[in-house]
Amino acid sequence: MPRLNKKVAETPTPTAQWRWQTQFCEHVARLALSPDGSLVAVATLAGEVAVVATADGRRVRDLPRHGFGALDVAWSSDGAVLATAGQDGIVRLIDAGSGAVLGEHRASGWASRLAWSKDGTRLAAAIGKDTLLIHRDGTEIGRFGQMAHTVSDVVWSTDDRKLGVLTYGGVRWFGSGTPKPTPDRVFAWKGAPLRAAMSPTGKFLVHGNQDNSVHVWRMSSAEEMEMSGYPAKVEVLSWDRTGEWLAVGTIGFTTVWDCSGKGPSGRRAVVCNGPDRRVTALSWQQRGHALIVGSADGTVSWYLPTKAKAAANLQPLGGVDVGSEVSDLAFLSDDRLFVVGCSDGTFGVVATDLPSAR
Partner 1 sequence: MIENEFGEIGIDDALVIDAEAEIFEMNNGCICCTVRGDLIRILGNLMRRRDKFDHILVETTGLADPAPVAQTFFVDDEISAQLRLDAIVTMVDAKHIVQHLDDEKAEGTENEAVEQIAFADRIIINKTDLVTTEELDNVVKRVRAINGAVDITYATNAKVDLDSILNVGAFDLSRVLEQEPQFLDDTEHQHDVTVTSVGIEIEGTFNADKLNEWLSTLLRTKGVDIFRSKGILSIAGNDKRFVFQGVHMLLDGEHDRPWGPDERRVNRAVFIGRNLDRAALDRGLRECLV
CA distance 188 to 275: 35
Residue 234, amino acid:
V
Of 12-20, 93-101, 196-204, 231-239, the segment contacting partner 1 by CB under 8 A is 231-239
Residues 6+ apart with CB under 8 A from 261: none
* Residue from the set 92, 113, 136, 233 that interacts with partner 1 by CB under 8 A: 233
Which residues does residue 92 pair with via DSSP β-bridges, in sequence order? Answer: 84, 104
The SS3 call for residue 2 is: helix
* Residue from the set 37, 103, 128, 348 that interacts with partner 1 by CB under 8 A: 128
CA distance 149 to 272: 34
Spell out, one character per residue from 153 to 192, where the chain touches partner 1: x when CB under 8 A holds, - when not. ---------------x--------------------xxxx
* Residue from the set 106, 118, 129, 267 that interacts with partner 1 by CB under 8 A: 129
DSSP, res 221 = T
Q: In this structure, how many other beta carbons lie within 10 angstroms of the beta carbon of residue 180?
A: 12
By CB under 8 A, tell whether 225 contacts partner 1: no
By CB under 8 A, tell whether 275 contacts partner 1: no
* DSSP calls for 156-218: E-TTSSEEEEEETTEEEEEESSS--SS-SEEEE-SS-EEEEEE-TTSSEEEEEETTS-EEEEE
Question: Within 13 Å and on the Cβ side, how many CA atoms surround 113?
Answer: 21
By CB under 8 A, tell whether 84 contacts partner 1: no
How near is the Cβ of 323 to partner 1 at its closest, in Å?
A: 14
How near is the Cβ of 328 to partner 1 at its closest, in Å?
A: 12
How near is the Cβ of 104 to partner 1 at its closest, in Å?
A: 17
CA distance 355 to 247: 21
Q: Quick one: 69 or 183, whose CB is closer to partner 1?
A: 69
Q: Quick one: 190 or 358, whose CB is closer to partner 1?
A: 190
Spell out, one character per residue from 317 to 356, where the chain touches partner 1: x when CB under 8 A holds, - when not. ----------x---------------xxx-----------
By CB under 8 A, tell whether 298 contacts partner 1: no
How near is the Cβ of 257 to partner 1 at its closest, in Å?
A: 20
* Residue from the set 231, 242, 287, 313 that interacts with partner 1 by CB under 8 A: 231
Q: Quick one: 88 or 95, whose CB is closer to partner 1?
A: 88
Residues 6+ apart with CB under 8 A from 145: 179, 180, 181, 182
Spell out, one character per residue from 13 to 52, where the chain touches partner 1: x when CB under 8 A holds, - when not. ------------xxx-x---------------x-------
By CB under 8 A, tell whether 109 contacts partner 1: yes
Q: Quick one: 293 or 337, whose CB is closer to partner 1?
A: 293
DSSP, res 307 = G
* Residue from the set 18, 75, 110, 303 that interacts with partner 1 by CB under 8 A: 110
CA distance 60 to 65: 15
CA distance 264 to 243: 12
By CB under 8 A, tell whether 67 contacts partner 1: yes
By CB under 8 A, tell whether 213 contacts partner 1: yes
CA angle 244, 245, 250 (to 5 degrees): 160
By CB under 8 A, tell whether 210 contacts partner 1: yes
CA distance 85 to 133: 14
By CB under 8 A, tell whether 249 contacts partner 1: no
Cβ proximity of 82 and 40 under 8 Å: no
The SS3 call for residue 8 is: helix
Footprint of partner 1 on this chain (CB under 8 A)?
25-27, 29, 45, 67-69, 87-89, 108-110, 128-129, 149-150, 168, 189-192, 209-213, 231-233, 251, 278, 327, 343-345
